[in-house]
A and B are shown apart, each in its own frame.
Chain A
Amino acid sequence: MNDCVLSVRDSSVSFGLKNPLAVTDRVSFSIKPGEFFALVGESGCGKSVTAMSILRLLPVPSAKITGEVLFENKNLLTLALSEMQKIRGTSITTIFQEPMQALNPVLTIGKQLLEVLRKDKNNRENRIKKYLHLAGLSDVERVMNAYPHELSGGMLQRVCIVMALLNKPRLIIADEPTTALDVTVQAQIMDLLKKMALETHTAVLLITHNMGLVAQYANSVAVMYAGRIVEMGPVKKVINSPLHPYTQGLLAAIPRGERGVQSIQSIPGNVPAPKDFIDTCRFSPRCAYYEKKCDIYPPKQGDQEHYAFCVKDKLEIQNAKQKTPPLN
Chain B
Amino acid sequence: MPTEALKLSQATVRYPIRGGVLDKTQDFFTAVDGVSFSLHQGEVLALVGESGCGKSSLAKAILGLAPWSLGDFSFFGKPMNLNSKKDLKKVREKVQLIFQDPYSSLNPRQSILEILMHPLVARSYNKVEALEKIKNTLHLVGLNQDSLNRFPHEFSGGQRQRIAIARALVLSPSILLCDEVTSALDVSVQAQVLQLLDEIRNKTGVALLFISHDMQVVKAISDRVAVMYLGKIMEMGSVDTVLHHPKHPYTKALLESIPGLDPNFPPKILEGETHFNSKHKDSCLFAPRCVYCRSECVSQSIPLQSADGVQFRCLFPLERSL
Whether A183 contacts B213 by the Cβ 8 Å rule is yes
Whether A254 contacts B257 by the Cβ 8 Å rule is no
CB proximity of A198 to chain B, nearest CB, Å? 14
List the A residue with the shortest CB-CB distance to B271.
A188
Whether A270 contacts B216 by the Cβ 8 Å rule is no
A188-B269, A209-B186, A270-B159 given; A258·B220 CB < 8 A: yes
Whether A183 contacts B221 by the Cβ 8 Å rule is no
Select which of B187, B198, B275 is within 8 A of A253 by beta carbon.
Answer: B187
A184 / chain B contacts, CB cutoff of 8 Å: 50, 253-254, 257, 269-270, 273
Query: A317 interface residue, CB < 8 Å from B?
Result: no
A152-B273, A271-B186 given; A182·B259 CB < 8 A: no
Whether B195 contacts A250 by the Cβ 8 Å rule is no
A217 / chain B contacts, CB cutoff of 8 Å: 259
A239 / chain B contacts, CB cutoff of 8 Å: 261
A307–B294 alpha-carbon span in the complex (Å): 53
A212 / chain B contacts, CB cutoff of 8 Å: 258-261
Number of interface residues of A (CB under 8 A): 47
Query: B266 interface residue, CB < 8 Å from A?
Result: yes
Stretch in A77-85, A106-114, A260-268 with 4+ CB within 8 Å of B: A260-268
Whether A255 contacts B220 by the Cβ 8 Å rule is yes
CB proximity of A176 to chain B, nearest CB, Å? 13
| Proximity string of chain A (242-275) to chain B, C-beta cutoff 8 Å, 1 when within and 0 when not | 0000000111011111111111111110110000
Query: B104 interface residue, CB < 8 Å from A?
Result: no
Query: B240 interface residue, CB < 8 Å from A?
Result: yes
Select which of A155, A249, A260, A271 is within 8 A of B220 by beta carbon.
Answer: A260
Query: B107 interface residue, CB < 8 Å from A?
Result: no
List the A residue with the shortest CB-CB distance to B158.
A270
Whether B253 contacts A264 by the Cβ 8 Å rule is no
Tell me the chain B residues, 259-307 only, with Cβ under 8 Å from chain A: 259-263, 266-271, 273-275
Whether A262 contacts B195 by the Cβ 8 Å rule is yes
Query: A43 interface residue, CB < 8 Å from B?
Result: yes
A261-B195, A266-B190 given; A213·B259 CB < 8 A: yes
| Proximity string of chain B (227-258) to chain A, C-beta cutoff 8 Å, 1 when within and 0 when not | 00000000000011001000000000110011
List the A residue with the shortest CB-CB distance to B240.
A259
B188 / chain A contacts, CB cutoff of 8 Å: 42, 249-250, 253, 266-267, 271
A43-B186, A239-B261 given; A182·B50 CB < 8 A: yes
Select which of A152, A188, A256, A265 is within 8 A of B216 by beta carbon.
Answer: A256
B254 / chain A contacts, CB cutoff of 8 Å: 183-184
Whether B219 contacts A264 by the Cβ 8 Å rule is no
A42–B221 alpha-carbon span in the complex (Å): 23
Number of interface residues of B (CB under 8 A): 46
Whether A257 contacts B267 by the Cβ 8 Å rule is no
List the B residue with the shortest CB-CB distance to A270.
B156
A42-B187, A212-B261, A215-B261 given; A264·B220 CB < 8 A: yes
| Proximity string of chain A (204-217) to chain B, C-beta cutoff 8 Å, 1 when within and 0 when not | 00000111110111
B239 / chain A contacts, CB cutoff of 8 Å: 259
CB proximity of A145 to chain B, nearest CB, Å? 19
B260 / chain A contacts, CB cutoff of 8 Å: 212, 215-216, 256
Select which of B197, B240, B258 is within 8 A of A183 by beta carbon.
Answer: B258
CB proximity of B164 to chain A, nearest CB, Å? 16
Tell me the chain A residues, 259-316 only, with Cβ under 8 Å from chain B: 259-268, 270-271
Query: A185 interface residue, CB < 8 Å from B?
Result: yes
User: Which of B221, B269, B274 is most buried by chain A, counting CB atoms within 10 A of its CB?
Assistant: B269
Query: B145 interface residue, CB < 8 Å from A?
Result: no
Query: B51 interface residue, CB < 8 Å from A?
Result: yes
A215–B260 alpha-carbon span in the complex (Å): 7
A218–B271 alpha-carbon span in the complex (Å): 22
Whether B51 contacts A182 by the Cβ 8 Å rule is yes
B192 / chain A contacts, CB cutoff of 8 Å: 266, 268
| Proximity string of chain A (174-193) to chain B, C-beta cutoff 8 Å, 1 when within and 0 when not | 00000000111111101100
Query: A236 interface residue, CB < 8 Å from B?
Result: yes
CB proximity of B280 to chain A, nearest CB, Å? 17
B271 / chain A contacts, CB cutoff of 8 Å: 188
A236 / chain B contacts, CB cutoff of 8 Å: 263
B197 / chain A contacts, CB cutoff of 8 Å: 261
Whether B267 contacts A187 by the Cβ 8 Å rule is yes
CB proximity of A4 to chain B, nearest CB, Å? 24
List the A residue with the shortest CB-CB distance to B194.
A261
A154–B266 alpha-carbon span in the complex (Å): 20
A187-B270, A255-B220 given; A266·B261 CB < 8 A: no
Whether B257 contacts A216 by the Cβ 8 Å rule is no
Whether A258 contacts B261 by the Cβ 8 Å rule is no
A209–B157 alpha-carbon span in the complex (Å): 16
A184-B254, A255-B216, A255-B220 given; A215·B186 CB < 8 A: no
A216 / chain B contacts, CB cutoff of 8 Å: 259-260, 263, 266-267
List 10 tightest A-B contacts by C-beta distance, closest first. A266-B191, A212-B259, A255-B216, A42-B186, A182-B50, A270-B156, A264-B191, A267-B188, A187-B267, A184-B270
